[in-house]
Copies of this chain bind each other. A is one copy, B any other.
Amino acid sequence: MKDQLDKPACNCGIVAIFGQEDAAISAYQALYALQHRGQESSGIVSSDGTSVYRHTGMGLVNTVFSDIKVLRSLPGDLAIGHNRYSTTGSTILSNAQPLLVNFKEGPVALSHNGNFVNTRSIREELVQDGAIFQTSSDTEVVLHLMARSREIDMASKMRDALDRLKGAYSLALLTRDRVFAVRDPRGWRPLSLGEKQGAYFVASETCALDLIGANYVREIEPGEILEIGADGLVSHRLSETAERRACIFEHVYFSRPDSKIFDENVDRARRKLGKNLAIEHPADADIVISVPDSSNTAALGYASRSGIKFEIGLIRNHYVGRTFIHPDQSDRDFNVRVKFNPVEGVLRDKRVVVVDDSIVRGTTLRHLTKMLRKAGAREVHLRVSSPPIISPCYYGMDFPTTAELVASGQTIEQIRMHLGVDSLGYLSLEGMIKAVSEDGGFCTACFTGNYPLVPEKSATKLLHEDAALETVY
């Protein structure tokens, strides 16, 4: 699991499909390709034009949909799906998405990737007005606002509801006969449109379109409500306009390198991060190694620009899962050792540049450094392809508290000593932004504390659970 690797937790993946026979099967494939964006629960809602079908469960896509019979019980040409990593709302089945409710117009299902910042007061208002909440997720707020809208058509209901909400979100919504895809006005989270033989596919990342075999068409625009029905595509706009504030961490770490997000190849951006890192923080070393797999591309970029040889110095065990038993809790290094094993023949007597994409607590890197030295590395020079993380994210990433961040309130030299490396270099904010885009338009709040949207007071993860609602799975 990603968080075990001392990375921020990812912020869900969504998908919507229209006009594809057995749409649930394509949704399953897309969710499978988006597995890295959420491993807690998974779900699909499909429609055959008359009835709407839902299946959700805890665990990986393969676990939730381990039986072809389950997929066959989700008939129809329309579907939306969701992989969830808990952000707002705790780890429980009733929070699994897509949510499915009954409107007067019929069943409506909704998948949600991201986070709202002003749901607290709106939720309060709704509750005062007699609304009842069955989950602690923000998604239910959207549905309540839509249900209370006076607008007639679904797209207008959505605009009505979303005009009241602020935040970072990508949504997929399904009714009996159409699907909708929405992105917030700042375009925080990625969302792409694909096409294959007249069928349409919307997914958080293009790697899902690739697996389905669909061709990339374009991004859903920031502030766009894209409606897909039998009569084709119709584009609506949210009322609010704002400057683009795409999450730069998607390029740094979240998205798969084979995806295109924000109209840019992740792979290209990530390599550039490594190159800029090499320019800013050269090293006098023999080899460059990566902390696999997320830092591979940046490490190649560093190696290429610095002229230092790229080597595979750490082997990652891909069989690690949630169920691994760590019997001896006193063996602190074991958690890291079970994931990574150093390649002694590569490291022995070498001065090693280690490239990692980001550091949260620093726990993994401290153990890795010890491990590398034990395997014979003479020097360890850590290079990080993003700036120090110092502030929480209110837009969909799950960090530890600020106090737990290794970079919070420490100088670079203090961090270096804490990690036990010979030298330490973080990519500068400027170097990072330049690597990703010429034009800017990114949210860098976790590195800078500059928040494009200020959250309501105490927008903590369990915000809506102060009402003391807890469901045990």
Interface residues of A (CB under 8 A from B): 22, 25, 28-29, 32-33, 35, 50-55, 60-63, 65-66, 68, 70-71, 73-74, 99-104, 106-108, 124, 127-128, 130-134, 136, 143-144, 147-149, 176, 207, 210-211, 213, 256-258, 260, 265, 267-268, 293, 296-297, 300, 304, 309-312, 315, 317-319, 321, 323-325, 327-328, 331, 337-338, 341-346, 464, 467-473
Chain B residue numbers with a CB within 8 Å of A211 are 337-338, 341
Q: Is the CB of B319 within 8 A of A60?
A: yes
CA–CA, A311 and B300, complex, Å: 7
Q: Is the CB of B147 within 8 A of A338?
A: no
Chain B residue numbers with a CB within 8 Å of A256 are 315, 341
CA–CA, A345 and B131, complex, Å: 49
CA–CA, A293 and B341, complex, Å: 15
In the assembled complex, how far is the CB of residue A213 from the closest CB belonging to chain B, in whole angstroms?
7
Q: Is the CB of A467 within 8 A of B337?
A: no
Q: Is the CB of A102 within 8 A of B469?
A: yes
Nearest B residue to A28, CB-CB: B325
Which has the most chain B C-beta neighbours within 10 Å: A108, A124, A128, A467?
A: A467
Nearest B residue to A467, CB-CB: B102
CA–CA, A472 and B47, complex, Å: 13
CA–CA, A265 and B296, complex, Å: 23
Contact of A319 among B29, B32, B143, B469 (CB under 8 A): B32
Enumerate 6 A-B pairs (CB-CB under 8 Å) in ascending A order.
A54-B472, A100-B469, A102-B127, A130-B131, A207-B341, A267-B312
A468-B176 in contact given A32-B324, A62-B323 (Cβ < 8 Å) = yes
Q: Is the CB of B258 within 8 A of A342?
A: yes
In the assembled complex, how far is the CB of residue A314 from the closest CB belonging to chain B, in whole angstroms?
8
In the assembled complex, how far is the CB of residue A59 from the closest CB belonging to chain B, in whole angstroms?
11
In the assembled complex, how far is the CB of residue A210 from the closest CB belonging to chain B, in whole angstroms?
5
Chain B residue numbers with a CB within 8 Å of A331 are 213
Q: Is the CB of B267 within 8 A of A470?
A: no
CA–CA, A60 and B300, complex, Å: 33
CA–CA, A353 and B147, complex, Å: 57
Chain B residue numbers with a CB within 8 Å of A293 are 318
CA–CA, A176 and B149, complex, Å: 32
Chain B residue numbers with a CB within 8 Å of A315 are 207, 256-258
Q: Is the CB of A338 within 8 A of B32?
A: yes
Which has the most chain B C-beta neighbours within 10 Å: A71, A149, A317, A470?
A: A470
Contact of A471 among B54, B61, B147, B470 (CB under 8 A): B54
Q: Is the CB of B258 within 8 A of A344?
A: yes
In the assembled complex, how far is the CB of residue A33 from the closest CB belonging to chain B, in whole angstroms?
7
Q: Is the CB of B268 within 8 A of A345?
A: yes
Q: Is the CB of B325 within 8 A of A296?
A: no
Q: Is the CB of B327 within 8 A of A71?
A: yes
Q: Is the CB of A343 within 8 A of B267?
A: yes
Chain B residue numbers with a CB within 8 Å of A207 are 315, 341
Chain B residue numbers with a CB within 8 Å of A337 are 210-211, 213
CA–CA, A373 and B53, complex, Å: 39
CA–CA, A120 and B268, complex, Å: 58
Nearest B residue to A333, CB-CB: B213
A327-B68 in contact given A132-B147, A134-B100 (Cβ < 8 Å) = yes
A257-B128 in contact given A51-B470, A54-B471, A134-B99 (Cβ < 8 Å) = no
Q: Is the CB of A127 within 8 A of B100?
A: no
Q: Is the CB of A319 within 8 A of B35?
A: yes
Q: Is the CB of B470 within 8 A of A257?
A: no
Besides A102-B133, A130-B131, A318-B318, 11 other CB < 8 A contacts? Answer: A53-B472, A61-B319, A62-B319, A62-B323, A103-B127, A107-B467, A127-B147, A134-B134, A265-B345, A267-B343, A267-B345
Contact of A210 among B54, B63, B327, B341 (CB under 8 A): B341
In the assembled complex, how far is the CB of residue A188 from the closest CB belonging to chain B, in whole angstroms?
23
Which has the most chain B C-beta neighbours within 10 Å: A68, A260, A304, A343?
A: A343
Nearest B residue to A292, CB-CB: B293
Q: Is the CB of A312 within 8 A of B297?
A: yes
In the assembled complex, how far is the CB of residue A216 from the closest CB belonging to chain B, in whole angstroms?
9
